Amino acid sequence: MKIDEVEQPGFILKDSLLEEIRLYWNEHIHDLELAKHPVGSKGFFADLDEYRFDKLRYLPEVVDFSGYADKRILEVGCGVGIDLFRFARGGAKVTGVDLAEQSVDLAQKYFAHHDLEGTLQLGNGEDLEFEDDTFDMVYAHGVIQYTANAKKMVEELRRVIKPDGEVIMMVYNRVSWLNFLSQTLGVGLEHEDAPVLKKYSIDEFKKLLENFSSVRILPERFPVKSRLQSGLKAIFFNSFFVPAFNLVPKTITRNTGWHIMAFAKK
């Protein structure tokens, strides 16, 4: 598949860091290596969905994918569209934008395999082409931490939701079990080589969201057995760390969740 198969005249990035980010994500599609089926096939997307929702078991518990029927949803940084597909399957009118042509192209294929409607296009979350107050919900899961100017993106997400709408976001927690484990065991985290990767404390994330009228923060993503590692570290992680961690009451570990979810009102 060639990058310029997705054509969108007028999509020009003036910021060189954003251009670097775009190039990186064109070559590092999130979770791509986890799929067993050929890239772009129906089975490929089923693999990615299965992997994602096994790893992120919390996600369907805190995000009601089928609760937005007839609502307008925008996903910024939609990747290959795994989450957006679930919203669309639940009846939402969905739009997905991403900087990376490869992702947009794959997301279009995913929807086409299932005859599902959705607008999937190139777009920069720091400079959205939509009018103010357009969407009932805007979703940006694992995106703000990778963009050049997080504040600019967050303000754009806020601008395009309707006055009674909601923005749902996720960034990585610097003060988390996974960051601690990665530093003590020397295990690399996914996409640590991305041009931008910022991890936040809960307070830093709240500060970033200070212009919203209300924000509910929910740290999530606690240890589950990993398919990514192998060898002694994997045995330690899967057989000792995961069961031991999960014995500790959530009231103690809650703020160490790797994913800081935020549910924000305009």
Ligand X SMILES: C[S@@+](CC[C@H](N)C(=O)[O-])C[C@H]1O[C@@H](n2cnc3c(N)ncnc32)[C@H](O)[C@@H]1O
In the complex, the residues that contact ligand X under the rule CB under 6 A are: 21, 25, 30, 76-79, 97-100, 103, 123-126, 141-143, 146-147, 153, 191
Kindly state the tokens that stand for 256. 């160490």
Q: How far is the CB of 182 from ligand X (least distance, A)?
A: 16
Q: Which is nearer to ligand X, 35 or 153 (CB)?
A: 153
Q: How far is the CB of 96 from ligand X (least distance, A)?
A: 9
Q: Which is nearer to ligand X, 97 or 209 (CB)?
A: 97
Q: Which is nearer to ligand X, 53 or 245 (CB)?
A: 53
Q: How far is the CB of 61 from ligand X (least distance, A)?
A: 16
Q: How far is the CB of 60 from ligand X (least distance, A)?
A: 13
d(CA 131, CA 124): 14
Q: Which is nearer to ligand X, 158 or 241 (CB)?
A: 158
Q: Which is nearer to ligand X, 79 or 223 (CB)?
A: 79
d(CA 1, CA 183): 37
- Three-state DSSP class for residue 171: strand
Q: Where are the alpha helices (DSSP H) in 39-190?
A: 42-55, 59-62, 82-89, 101-113, 150-160, 177-185
Sheet arrangement for strand 161-172: 119-122, 93-98, 72-76, 135-141, 161-172, 259-265, 214-220
Q: How far is the CB of 232 from ligand X (least distance, A)?
A: 28
d(CA 25, CA 80): 11
